[in-house]
Amino acid sequence: MGTRPSQRNKPSRTEAGFTLIEVMICTLILATGMLGIAGLLGVSTQMQIGARESARSMRLAQEKVDQLMKQDFDTSASVAVGGSLTDDTENYFEEPLTGITVRWAVDAGPVEDTRILTVRVVNLRAQQYRQTELTTIIREW
């Protein structure tokens, strides 16, 4: 006995391939995943920019502290008691880069020949307004 001609030419279920609906569902799942990845890429880029600007602000603040620690209390106006962290006071501020302002204030220290130095870096270049502040005691050598 032979097989029937109608069964011999008919493909079996495993050889049929994908239907149009299955392809559309797979495409929808793939597109949703790709949109999620694109959103994460944008967020991670913004976070990287913010971290870079924050590190820049901290580096500028530390450099200013290091520079002011070397000044003579008697002859340098930049380490005399005074200054403002909110206003641009002469001898107590600088703009090292466009959009970045470094301000410092100097107060009398707890003992003679010391000063309390506070340096604030205001960074308007960052996506979010960033402000970094360092406070330390400097001593005249």
Residue 105 domain flag: yes
Range of the domain at 47: 18-139
Q: What is the pLDDT of residues 51-82, one digit of tens each?
A: 888 899 999 999 999 999 999 998 999 999 99
Residue 1 domain flag: no
User: Which of these, 127, 125, 131, lies nearest to 46 by C-alpha position?
Assistant: 127
Residue with tokens 């641009």: 88
Chain centroid offset of residue 129 CA: 11
Residue 129 domain flag: yes
- Proportion of the chain above pLDDT 90, given as a percent: 65
Residue 7 domain flag: no
Chain centroid offset of residue 35 CA: 24
Supply the mean pLDDT for the chain.
Answer: 88
Q: Is residue 37 within 8 Å of 44, Cβ to Cβ?
A: no
Residue 4 domain flag: no
Residue 2 domain flag: no
Beta bridge partners of 120: 103, 133
Counted domains in the chain:
1
CA distance 54 to 96: 15
Give just the sign of the alpha carbon dihedral 40, 42, 101, 83: negative
Residue 94 domain flag: yes
Residue 54 domain flag: yes
